[in-house]
């Protein structure tokens, strides 16, 4: 019986059958929170509904309710909204399909939310990259990972939706809280959490809610990571522009210009010295550059139809939303 069930786990996916199975099995192996877990919702973002067989096969093995929902229009925000539409649970945990949760993951998130009373709680991530990434491996592991305080506590800033627990009533307003304008580039969670912070929402950190994130080979490259860093850098300027805070935009652009100059020069020096630390400074430079060139025509595309096009070119590849 699940009279106390009040948590749903949502996993968006796009043509990653093996990775999806790993993520789902990690949720099936959760301990200490089974009575609270209302359902697991897998949102299949492939127009061809390729995840259905995997979900139905694992659902037949599981004591947990595992639901398959089809969101045929590829897009990360569309997939998240479809997952929310499939459940009425008041607490929503997001796990990406390239992640695998530790057995105490969900229990740690739920416990941290109860102790901090935060509207959104985030957990740490260990970045995993394939062999052969060379000198940039430590940087890439940090890039795909996530660090935070050593203890569970309230924090000042938000992270991404992957490995997060959100209070539906306060953090996820309306029927479709994720802006589908972000379907192709991502950043739907940045906008959501910026709005939550503006409403006085609180963020928490669950120090024991560990997941591993496995970067696929096409993403585990310095070029991809720096492009993502550029996109992350665009966030503050774009948020200010969306609020028509043009003084804020100018301030972020000035900060970005200074960061680009300082970290760019430092990265050049370390590149000439062949130091592996140059990747971290390249990352900072890219984020600074993103604050300057925040306009939509400079916005990289990572998800949705862009990812579908990549998959069509490489039909054996697989990816998330």
CATH code, 192: 3.90.550.10
| pLDDT score, position 318 | 42
- Across the range 255-269, mean pLDDT stands at 98
Confidence of residue 260 (pLDDT cuts 50, 70, 90): very high
Say if residue 317's pLDDT is above 50: no
263 backbone dihedrals φ, ψ, rounded to 5°: -75, -30
Confidence of residue 290 (pLDDT cuts 50, 70, 90): very high
Domain of residue 129, residue span: 7-214
Say if residue 288's pLDDT is above 50: yes
Contacts of 243 (CB under 8 A, 6+ apart): none
As a whole number of angstroms, the distance between CA 290 and CA 238 comes to 10
**DSSP classification of residue 62:** -
19 lies in the same domain as 36: yes
193 lies in the same domain as 273: no
On whether residue 319 sits in a domain, the answer given is no
As a whole number of angstroms, the distance between CA 32 and CA 41 comes to 20
Helices (H) and strands (E) in the chain, counts: 11, 11
203 lies in the same domain as 237: no
Total number of domains in the chain: 2
Contacts of 174 (CB under 8 A, 6+ apart): none
201 lies in the same domain as 228: no
How large is the C-alpha radius of gyration of the chain?
Answer: 19
C-beta of residue 38 within 8 angstroms of C-beta of residue 6? yes
Confidence of residue 319 (pLDDT cuts 50, 70, 90): very low
What's the N-to-C CA distance of the chain in angstroms?
33
3-class DSSP string for 241-271: HHCCCHHHHHHHHHHHHHHHHHHHHHHHHHH
* pLDDT digit string, tens, across residues 84-125: 999 999 999 999 999 999 999 999 999 999 999 999 999 999
Please report how the helices 246-272 and 278-292 are oriented relative to each other, as an axis angle in degrees rounded to 10: 150
| pLDDT score, position 187 | 83
Range scoring the smallest mean pLDDT among 158-162, 169-173, 187-191, 226-230: 187-191
On whether residue 318 sits in a domain, the answer given is no
Kindly report the pTM of this predicted structure: 0.90
| pLDDT score, position 2 | 59
């Amino acid at each position: 019986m699940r009279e106390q069930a009040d948590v749903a786990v949502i996993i968006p996916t796009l043509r990653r059958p093996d990775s999806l199975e790993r993520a789902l099995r990690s949720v099936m192996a959760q301990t200490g929170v089974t009575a609270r877990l209302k359902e697991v919702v897998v949102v299949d973002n492939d127009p061809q509904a390729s995840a259905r067989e995997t979900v139905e096969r694992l659902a037949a093995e599981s004591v947990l309710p595992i639901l398959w929902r089809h969101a045929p229009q590829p897009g990360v925000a569309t997939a998240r909204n479809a997952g929310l539409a499939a459940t009425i649970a008041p607490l929503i945990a997001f796990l990406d399909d390239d992640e695998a949760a530790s057995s105490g993951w969900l229990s740690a998130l739920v416990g941290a939310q109860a102790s901090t009373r935060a509207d959104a709680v985030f957990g740490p991530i260990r970045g995993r990259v394939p062999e052969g990434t060379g000198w940039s491996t430590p940087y890439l592991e940090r890039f795909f990972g996530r660090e935070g305080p050593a203890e569970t506590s309230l924090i000042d800033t938000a992270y991404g939706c992957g490995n997060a627990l959100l209070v539906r009533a306060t953090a996820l307003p309306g029927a479709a809280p994720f802006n589908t304008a972000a379907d192709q580039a991502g950043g739907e969670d940045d906008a959501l959490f910026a709005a939550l912070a503006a409403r006085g929402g609180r963020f928490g950190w669950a120090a024991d809610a560990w997941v591993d994130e496995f970067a696929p080979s096409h993403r585990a490259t310095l070029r991809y990571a720096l492009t993502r860093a550029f996109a992350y850098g665009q966030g503050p300027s774009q948020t200010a522009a969306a609020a028509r805070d043009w003084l804020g935009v100018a301030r972020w652009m000035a900060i970005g210009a200074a960061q680009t100059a300082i970290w760019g020069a430092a990265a050049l020096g370390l590149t000439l010295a062949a130091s592996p630390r140059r990747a971290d400074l390249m990352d900072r430079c890219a984020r600074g550059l993103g604050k300057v060139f925040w306009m939509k025509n400079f916005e990289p595309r990572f998800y949705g139809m862009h990812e579908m096009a990549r998959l069509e070119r490489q039909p054996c590849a697989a990816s998330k939303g």
